[in-house]
């Protein structure tokens, strides 16, 4: 009687596995196929039944086997095996993503669970997985890759916890930026005549005065005493005398050169 019960239990387990991966293993005598939801797993199909297998993991050096580990290999469908390089292969869209794209027009974009990527819907074809430029997150609201602080894919505390403590992020205005302060985002201003550069991750001189957010230099700062500054109108300039800011204008046919802090012949 016990062996009959055991057979029934084993049969139920096999049926459960078959139900989970029916679509992947239907009509397959034996094969190894990708998992529908994760590239860190794969499915072994045998006579229409499927079993889920995790890609190999490694225990960090010097730590025991009970220490939680993160999978460091992913399944490569072409090689039928797990490799580290496969983790860099564009992610296959899940059934959920495919279903969502089925309700969208071609070329519409949808966010991925990974903030640094998004999907482009392609009508009847599978959605295309796209990576944002380095250091940017995808904003579902703006439909583009942008500063992580503006994309709001992560909460400020999570964003700050997952980045370098000295990290900076572009803000709403070109002469502003965000820094992490006790796991919260704090806004900072660049000095007058400077703009925030995402590439440099710092404020750089705005030689062309292309940032329309500039106001006037802070002449209360002793460092700016007796100093000339560019104006948004290239025929004009600012100058700090004592603690007061004054506006000057170059002669006709001259424009202000911020590099030499003087008016030079030539049209802007």
pTM of full prediction above 0.75: no
- Cβ burial, residue 211 (10 Å; 0-12/13-18/19+): middle
Indicate the pLDDT class of residue 2, thresholds 50, 70 and 90. very low
Q: What is the mean pLDDT of residues 183-188?
A: 85
Return the pLDDT at 67.
47
7 Cβ contact list (under 8 Å, min separation 6): none
Place of tokens 């991925």: 112
Position 89 scores a pLDDT of: 64
Burial status of residue 199 (CB atoms within 10 A of its CB: 0-12, 13-18, 19 or more): exposed
- Total count of residues recorded for the chain: 268
Measured CA to CA in angstroms, residue 105 lies from 98, 100, 185, 263 at distances of 12, 10, 36, 55
pLDDT band at 13, cuts 50/70/90?
very low
Closest CA relative to residue 105, chosen from 120, 90, 116? 120
| Cα–Cα dist 216/259, whole Å | 18
CB atoms within 10 A of CB 52: 14
Gap between the Cα atoms of 225 and 212, Å rounded: 24
- Averaged pLDDT score across all residues of the chain: 79
At residue 70, the pLDDT reads: 52
For each of the domains in the chain, give its residue range(s) and CATH number, in order of start.
Answer: 2-56+69-88 (no CATH), 151-214 (2.170.140), 222-265 (no CATH)
- Report DSSP letters for 6-38, one per residue: HHHHHHHHHHHHHHHTHHHHTT-SEEEEE-SS-
d(CA 217, CA 21): 66
Distance CA 212, CA 231 (A): 10
What digits encode the pLDDT tens for the residues 114-145? Answer: 888 899 998 888 888 888 988 899 998 999 99
Per-residue model confidence (pLDDT) at position 11: 38
Among the ranges 5-19, 67-81, 92-106, 186-200, which has the highest mean pLDDT value? 186-200
Q: Whole-angstrom Cα distance, residue 135 to residue 151?
A: 12
Instruction: Give the DSSP letter string of 211-224.
Output: -TT-----TTSGGG
Segment 30-48, tens digit of pLDDT: 888 877 667 788 889 888 8
Segment 187-246, tens digit of pLDDT? 888 888 889 998 888 999 887 778 877 678 888 878 888 888 888 788 999 999 888 889
- CB count within 10 Å of CB 129 equals 17
Containing 96, the helix (H) or strand (E) segment is helix 95-101
What secondary structure letter does DSSP report for 264?
A: E
Least confident of 21-25, 78-82, 175-179: 21-25
Output phi, psi for 154, to 5 deg.
-115, 150
CA-CA distance, 28 to 207, in Å (whole number)? 66
- pLDDT for 8 equals 33
Q: Give mean pLDDT, residues 86-109.
A: 80
Q: Beta partners for 119? A: 110, 129
């Amino acid at each position: 009687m016990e062996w009959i019960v055991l057979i029934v239990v084993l049969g139920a387990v096999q049926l459960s596995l078959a139900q989970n991966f029916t679509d992947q293993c239907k009509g397959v005598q034996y094969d190894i196929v990708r998992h529908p939801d994760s590239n860190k797993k794969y499915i072994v199909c045998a006579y229409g039944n499927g079993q889920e297998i995790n890609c190999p993991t490694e225990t960090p050096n010097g730590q025991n086997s009970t220490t939680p580990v993160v999978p460091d290999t992913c399944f490569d469908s072409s090689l039928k095996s797990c490799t580290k390089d496969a983790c860099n292969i564009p992610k296959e869209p899940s059934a959920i993503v495919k279903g969502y794209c089925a309700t969208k027009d071609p070329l519409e974009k949808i966010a991925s669970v990974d903030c640094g990527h998004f999907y482009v819907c392609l009508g009847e074809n599978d959605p295309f997985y796209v990576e944002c430029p380095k250091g940017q997150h995808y904003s579902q609201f703006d439909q583009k890759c942008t500063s992580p602080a503006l994309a709001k894919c992560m909460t400020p505390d999570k964003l700050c916890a997952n980045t370098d403590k000295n990290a900076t992020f572009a803000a709403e205005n070109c002469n502003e930026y965000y820094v992490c302060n006790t796991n919260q985002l704090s806004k900072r201003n660049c000095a007058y005549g400077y703009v925030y550069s995402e590439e440099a991750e710092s404020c750089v001189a705005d030689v062309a005065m292309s940032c329309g957010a500039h106001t006037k230099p802070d002449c209360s700062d002793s460092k700016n005493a007796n100093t000339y500054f560019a104006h948004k109108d290239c025929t004009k300039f600012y100058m700090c005398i004592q603690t007061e800011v004054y506006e000057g204008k170059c002669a006709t046919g001259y424009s202000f050169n911020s590099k030499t802090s003087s008016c030079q012949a030539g049209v802007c």
